[in-house]
Amino acid sequence: MVPLQILTISLAVQLYLCESSIEANSQRPCWMCDVPHCKQCVASEWTPWNQCSSPCGMNGYQSRTRLVYRPPSCGEKSCRNLTAKEWRPCNRFCHNGGTPARWACTCPPLNYIGDCCETAILGWSMWGIWGQCSKSCGSGVQERMRVCVASPPFNSSVCGSVCPGPSLETRDCNTHLCTVKYDSLGCFRDGSPRSLPVLLKSFRNNIDWNNMTKVVHACAEIAHERGFSTFGIQFYGECWSGLGANKTYDKHGPSKNCWSGVGKKGSNYVYKIKV
Ligand SMILES: *[C@@H]1O[C@H](CO)[C@@H](O)[C@H](O)[C@H]1NC(C)=O
Ligand SMILES: *[C@@H]1O[C@H](CO)[C@@H](O)[C@H](O)[C@H]1NC(C)=O
Ligand SMILES: *[C@@H]1O[C@H](CO)[C@@H](O)[C@H](O)[C@H]1NC(C)=O
Ligand SMILES: *[C@@H]1O[C@H](CO)[C@@H](O)[C@H](O)[C@H]1NC(C)=O
């Protein structure tokens, strides 16, 4: 009885015999196979590598593919085919002495630009950053530079024609008024030796006669910058101070020869900077 039962089942599945190479000759029904129902994967040849995505630089990739198919067996009809894809970097190099970096080439400064430093520069470089302002307040100047670049195949003999304009640019900076504060000490006679020995600056060519405060302000600023604490204005627009000025400013006595916060000829209107 038992052998007959096995035969019946075997007939029912005989079209779907084990198909792995090991078991191909065993003639055993599928449900007795030792391997999974689908045959092992079969892979086609790889296609050739396709074109690199970039001719140079640090971003190039290329790929190739192959088909991985799984022939049906043991009655399974749903074996899925797969596409396998493989990537590799390619053309990873820099031109013109560039250094490979993470995402792009680091190009030699000024001479070349581009992802792979492939483009030579001919003409002005970018402006450099603005330099330090000559004053911290009360309107100073600062400058920035650029250079004419002619990288091979050009040479510097062409700079004259391809780099018009200046290589140096200046602009005003810190134009806000200084906040130097000062107190008035009064009007004093000058003499010999001078009670304020150093002429810091003369504003005589640039006096706003409607507002003498501007001269006093500017003088205070200069005196402060030079480290003096006492200063005076003489002859409407001359800014005087000096070492020891805080002791000598009144040595020739008081004067009435001042006007609008400044001294006239021969007198100083003297101020003391607040600390
Ligand atoms: C899987 O690939 C094989 C070989 O190219 C092909 O004969 C079969 O029809 C494919 N099967 C499916 C489900 O696409
Ligand atoms: C620079 O280039 C000019 C024209 O391209 C050429 O006449 C000249 O000889 C070159 N000078 C040098 C030093 O290579
Ligand atoms: C005079 O100049 C000072 C400093 O520039 C300014 O603060 C002030 O407002 C001016 N006064 C007048 C009346 O214009
Ligand atoms: C005068 O100023 C100097 C520094 O410039 C200081 O050492 C000295 O104490 C001051 N003298 C007076 C009387 O304020």
Once rounded to an integer, what is the mean pLDDT over residues 128-153?
88
Q: How far is the CA of 263 from the centre of ligand 4 (A)?
A: 23
pLDDT of 7 reads: 34
Tokens 């970097």 belong to residue:
89
Q: Whose C-alpha lies nearest to ligand 1, atom 11?
A: 81
Tokens 């192959």 belong to residue:
66
Residues 138 and 222: beta-carbon distance below 8 Å? no
Residues 179, 137: Cα–Cα separation, whole Å:
8
Question: Which residues have any ligand 3 atom within 6 Å of their CB?
Answer: 211, 213-214, 217
Least confident window among 45-59, 67-81, 125-139, 147-161: 67-81
Once rounded to an integer, what is the mean pLDDT over residues 149-155?
76
Shortest-distance atom of ligand 1 to CA 79: 13
Name the residue with higher pLDDT: 114 or 23: 114
Q: Determine what percent of the chain is predicted with pLDDT higher than 70.
A: 80
pLDDT band at 163 (very low <50, low <70, confident <90, very high): confident
pLDDT band at 133 (very low <50, low <70, confident <90, very high): very high
Residues 182 and 219: beta-carbon distance below 8 Å? no
pLDDT of 79 reads: 55
Q: Whose C-alpha lies nearest to ligand 2, atom 2?
A: 155
Mean pLDDT of the chain: 82
**Three-state secondary-structure class, residue 254:** strand
Once rounded to an integer, what is the mean pLDDT over residues 220-228?
92
Q: Whose C-alpha lies nearest to ligand 1, atom 13?
A: 80
Q: Whose C-alpha lies nearest to ligand 3, atom 4?
A: 214
Query: Cα-flanking dihedrals φ and ψ of residue 13, to 5°?
Result: -115, 15
Residues 68, 86: Cα–Cα separation, whole Å:
13
Once rounded to an integer, what is the mean pLDDT over residues 35-61?
81
Supply the DSSP symbol for 30. G
What are the residues whose beta carbons fall under 8 Å from the beta carbon of 209, sequence distance 6 or more?
Answer: none
Cα 243 to chain centroid distance, Å, stands at 46
pLDDT of 6 reads: 35
Cis peptide before 108 (omega within 30 of 0): no
Residues 258, 272: Cα–Cα separation, whole Å:
17
Is 60 exceeded by the pLDDT of residue 15?
no
Is 60 exceeded by the pLDDT of residue 65?
yes
The dihedral built from the CA positions of residue 151, 154, 156 and 158, taken in this order, carries a sign that is: negative
Once rounded to an integer, what is the mean pLDDT over residues 139-146?
94
Residue 211, Ramachandran bin (φ over 0: left; ψ between -120 and 50: alpha; else beta): beta
Q: Whose C-alpha lies nearest to ligand 1, atom 10?
A: 81
Name the residue with higher pLDDT: 155 or 233: 233
Name the residue with higher pLDDT: 166 or 108: 166
Residues 36, 34: Cα–Cα separation, whole Å:
7
Residues 107 and 96: beta-carbon distance below 8 Å? yes
Ligand nearest to the CA of 231: 4
Indicate the top mutation candidate among 139, 208, 213, 221 to test ligand 3's pocket, ranked by most ligand atoms within 8 A of CB: 213
**Three-state secondary-structure class, residue 170:** strand
- Where are the extended beta strands (E) located within the chain? 42-43, 61-69, 82-89, 99-100, 105-106, 112-113, 119-120, 122-124, 140-145, 148-150, 168-173, 182-189, 198-202, 230-234, 238-241, 258-259, 262-263, 267-273
pLDDT tens, residue by residue, 191-214: 999 999 999 999 999 999 999 999
Once rounded to an integer, what is the mean pLDDT over residues 104-115?
82
Ligand nearest to the CA of 72: 1
Once rounded to an integer, what is the mean pLDDT over residues 160-181?
88
Tokens 């470089």 belong to residue:
125
pLDDT of 97 reads: 86
Name the residue with higher pLDDT: 198 or 73: 198
